[in-house]
Amino acid sequence: MSLQEYRRKRRFDRTPEPASDGRRARSKRPIFVVQLHHASHRHYDFRLQVGDTLKSWAVPKGPSFDPDVKRLAAEVEDHPIDYAEFEGDIPKGQYGGGHVATFDKGLWTTDGDAKAQLAKGHLRFRLFGDKLKGGWHLVRTQKPARQPQWLLFKERDEYAGTQEADDLLQDVTPVGGTSARPKGKVRKRAAVASRGTERWAKRAARLDGARATSQRPGFRMPQLAKLQEHVPQGDTWLHEAKWDGYRLIARIAKGKARLWSRNEIEWTAKVPEIVAAVEALDLDDAVLDGELVAGAGRQEDFGLLQATLAGEKNATLSYVLFDILQVDGVDLARSPQYQRKALLAEILKSPPDRLVYSSHIVGRGDDALAMALERGLEGIISKRADAPYRAGRGDAWRKIKQRASDEFAVVGYTAPKGSRNGLGALLLAAPEGARGWRYAGRVGTGFSHEQLDTLAAQLAPRARSAPTARVEVDDPELRRARWVTPTLVAEVFHHGLGNQGLLRQPSLKTIRRDKRAADLCEPSSLPRTGSAMPATRRISKSAEAVEPTHPERVVFPGSGITKRQVFDYYRAMARWLLPEIEGRPLSIVRCPQGAGRPCFFQKHNTPGMDRVGVVPLEEEGGARADYLVVNDEAGLLELAQFNAIEFHPWGARAKTPDLADRIVFDLDPGPDVAWARVVDAARLVRRRLRALGLTSHVRTSGGKGLHVVVPLKPACAWPQVKDFAHAFAESMAASEPLAYVATATKKFRKGRIFIDYLRNGRGATSVASFSLRARDGAPVAMPLRWEELGRLKGGDAYTLASAPRRMARIGEHPWGDYMRGKQDLEAVAARLSKAGVRKTSR
């Protein structure tokens, strides 16, 4: 329901209820409120913030803490968020006339999408109020009613009991009166097997350097790690994952927890689920050190964490604990690192929900780093095993991060400061198509003294005060900077982009004396030593004549990418994309109103397409139709001008449409399948194909999956290709039915990966390598070397911005000349037949 229904039912000149227009900024995290409403029939109003409104239910008898008691909850109109603060009397004669008082309020969370769960009719959630805590359920009934009927009931957890809402009204404002409102609480039931304060005090006292303390637990300045390039070696070091989240120090005093950021800003109210989890440890006093993360705590999950704390999403948050500084009257800061972690591991042997122990590896640091990167983590933290805990940045903790490197044009420099010679930092820029260069940040580390002097001498004679790149940040250093026409290319290590779109922690890798800045604009002009791909194509005069209309139109609304940028992408990537689609029947995805609005597939020619070729092909039923065919850059760019975003070629050439020269297996995971399982599936497909004597290649889909591609030479008839692909997919599903499925029916795909073989029939298509996808962020279907797969974070890892940089950097197709080798499917079928393997029929 919308707020329109809320407003329709009320006369705001006669009721004190908030007349919100629904545009009020949402709270930082989703709230809930339960209000006791003395209307014509006394009831409780149960409200959960979902998006920018309060989803609301009328619960006649109020919530029960008994999991066996299911309360009727009638769905009513959405209310504005302002309503959570409303208390008072609604005049008689008005809708809902009667007294409204607050029973309880706080924050709430759920795993997954709240709107999707409500649409399906079952919402699982947790409440963090003064009275209502723990897990709850709302389940929609099938009973016909004027208003949708739901059942509200408690989950069986430590907060379950026999209490009813009416048992907790001592602090609720009575009708016609006021109350001092002392906080009424629902106490958690005592743990069945309490660890006990005495046990941990005795255990902690046995650690080397441990000492008794009467000091109340409080905030401790955290120990910090120094950034290092190399992993320290030897068994004197232990290595943990480097989690990508927010550092939090937890204090427990008399069983109650408080949380602080590393800068001593209190976070207790921001993450009540973590507070509840820490209190569930049943410790009397303690100081703990850890990281607040979302999802798996990877780099890609950091945005999810920020969005959850901002109230934009409602993801599961966890507190990953890696140190303990005090417990039950014993200070452990002087105890060795390995002993502190051993005690923490005991305390977290059966951790409450939302708490995670950060395990480690002793020695074998290179293995630890490889494992962390394989899991998509940023790197590792190496800690000296025998060291005490010391606040601040020291050498006992070291962080080693995965660092990407990319190439940028040098567009200026800053003056040196202090005793530094030469220059302070190089100013970097990235190409932006027809708009020139965009400032990307400055790099001031990684230089030798000789490099500083050489670069200063080279740049100073050409320097001027006017910027030579588009600058969209307010950096006082840039006002005093000197700018140069971009010719030099610098390759820098970095950790992605920050909030302003500038490089995070860049460090110089090298000055690329073999390249010029112009090479970054046109990947087709780069040297391609050792590449077996066809010779570089020059853009013809016909292609140069193609220009986009309405270049300012935004195509990807989430990232502000314009039609001009899409057009420039395809112009720059024509060298790589054309061999994938050239001379093949082609379908395109056109988005005339942008990727955020409805798009459509097109496979036939449209009037006005003058540079795109056609091929007449017979369709089902015997009719013939003109299919699109791209033969050169001009045709490709014309389709981009016609708002084509995606390119989906046949697995056959237009000259021989009945003979397939490639097989594509699309590994399409269900929504609850982890990315690591998709990677494992691709590797398994590769091993199975190799056992049949077939070489395969892998690419990202630009979505959530991967494609495994098998070139065929000689080309093979479509029926045989489809039968082979079908049999192969079914064999995988039969061997591991809990992991894979070979049917497109969605009800069978939960928790499984669909081995989609259906792209291997006459007329079927699959997205081309290097094609954009019409999805948020402008992802790209990117071919990979098999050894790169483990470093990937998802099927949409490459985008319009990063794909050209990657290809400019590697200079050749990741698959090499993949269509040159002989792969005869007929020979494979003959070997299988000789070995007695029966053909799988449909």
Query: What is the Cα–Cα distance from 425 to 413, expressed in whole angstroms?
Result: 5
Three-class SS state of 629: strand
Active-site annotation holds for 313: no
Query: What is the Cα–Cα distance from 302 to 305, expressed in whole angstroms?
Result: 5
Among residues 489, 497, 512, which one has the least CA distance to residue 441?
A: 497
Query: How many C-alpha atoms does 473 have within 13 Å on its Cβ side?
Result: 18
Among residues 113, 105, 117, which one has the least CA distance to residue 81?
A: 105
Q: Report DSSP letters for 36-64, one per residue.
A: EEESSSEEEEEEEEETTEEEEEEETT--B
Query: What is the Cα–Cα distance from 179 to 567, expressed in whole angstroms?
Result: 66
Report whether 65 contacts 153 (CB < 8 A). no
Report whether 566 contacts 555 (CB < 8 A). yes
In eight-state DSSP terms, residue 351 is P
The token duo for 591 is 């988005």
The radius of gyration of the chain's CA atoms, rounded to the nearest angstrom, is: 31
Question: Hey, what's the torsion of the CAs at 70, 75, 76, 79, to 10 degrees?
Answer: 90
**Distance set, CA 634 to CA 144, 640, 641 (Å):** 61, 10, 10
**Distance set, CA 551 to CA 438, 565, 568, 572, 770 (Å):** 18, 8, 10, 16, 21
The single residue listed with the structure tokens 């983590």 is 377
Q: Which of 133, 242, 270, 383 is catalytic?
A: 242
Does the CA dihedral 151-155-160-162 come out positive or negative? Answer: positive
Length of the chain: 842
Q: Tell me which amino acid residue 657 is.
A: P
Phi and psi torsions of 826, nearest 5°: -65, -40
Query: What is the Cα–Cα distance from 75 to 764, expressed in whole angstroms?
Result: 46
The single residue listed with the structure tokens 């992408």 is 569
Q: Say how far residue 255 (Cα) sits from the centre of its chain.
A: 35
Cβ within 8 Å of residue 699, ≥6 positions away: 706, 707, 709, 769, 781, 782, 783, 784
Angle at which helices 802-810 and 563-572 cross, to 10°: 10
Report whether 572 contacts 640 (CB < 8 A). no
Report whether 438 contacts 469 (CB < 8 A). yes
Q: Label each residue of 463-521 as H, E or C.
A: CECCCCCECCCCCHHHHCCEECCCCCEEEEEECCECCCCCECCCEEEEECCCCCHHHHH
Query: How many C-alpha atoms does 494 have within 13 Å on its Cβ side?
Result: 21
How, if at all, do strands 740-741 and 753-756 pair?
A: parallel
Three-class SS state of 778: coil
Three-class SS state of 524: helix
Query: What is the Cα–Cα distance from 521 to 683, expressed in whole angstroms?
Result: 35
Three-class SS state of 228: coil
Q: Report DSSP letters for 112-143, one per residue.
A: S-HHHHHHHTEEEEEEEESS-EEEEEEEE---
Does the CA dihedral 535-540-544-546 come out positive or negative? Answer: negative
Active site residues: 242
